A and B are shown apart, each in its own frame.
Chain A
Amino acid sequence: SQQGEEDPQALSIQEGENATMNCSYKTSINNLQWYRQNSGRGLVHLILIRSNEREKHSGRLRVTLDTSKKSSSLLITASRAADTASYFCATDGRGTYKYIFGTGTRLKVLA
């Protein structure tokens, strides 16, 4: 399987704290993306980082990418109860249309 992995599997923090989750993947990529899934629903795209970028910001989200280690991290700053969801990274393999997701991190933000 080419499925990536995320850690931690689950994370519980207080509102206002920062949440960091990590993703490791297995193949060379063109870009890496992060998605959020609210309970029982489809996934929503959050942010894309290309393989030649090292860091990207979008609002309270910060993503880093280390292609030498085949890993990425997603930082959510000043978390809110509404950030409670599962977060997944997804990668496309170079030279293929295959699109692979990781195992996900379940984030719970306590009010």
Chain B
Amino acid sequence: DVKVTQSSRYLVKRTGEKVFLECVQDMDHENMFWYRQDPGLGLRLIYFSYDVKMKEKGDIPEGYSVSREKKERFSLILESASTNQTSMYLCASMAHGNTEAFFGQGTRLTVV
């Protein structure tokens, strides 16, 4: 079974903190994605990566950065957390050829 694991299910951070969200997949997928999900807005793409050390901005990259040093791991970084970054964060991976995406269980981040 494909497994995408996000490091935390729930996270509470203070405004201004630097926050790391980690995602690991075990299927040697080339593509990895970070989305945030807010009520009524669906999933919005923050960043994606199609290979090690490669990254591209999604639709809402402001306030975020990413790191992909190893193929299996894709990290989302909130440089200085703000309350408007309180959200559900979902990581996904997919093989080249766009068959299907596999999702982690999500990290519900609250910034206070």
Contact = CB atoms under 8 A, between A and B. Distances in A.
Partners in one complex: yes
Interface of B: 4, 31, 33, 35, 40-45, 48, 50, 56, 58-59, 90, 92, 94, 96, 98-106
Given A1-B44, A40-B106, A42-B104, 8 more contacts: A3-B42, A42-B4, A42-B106, A43-B103, A45-B100, A88-B43, A98-B48, A98-B58
A103 B48 contact: no
A82 B31 CA distance: 31
Contact of A97 (B40, B50, B90, B105): B50
A105 to B, nearest CB: 10
A45 to B, nearest CB: 4
Interface of A: 1-3, 6, 9, 30-31, 33, 35, 40-45, 48, 88, 90, 92, 97-104
A2 B59 contact: yes
A48 B42 CA distance: 19
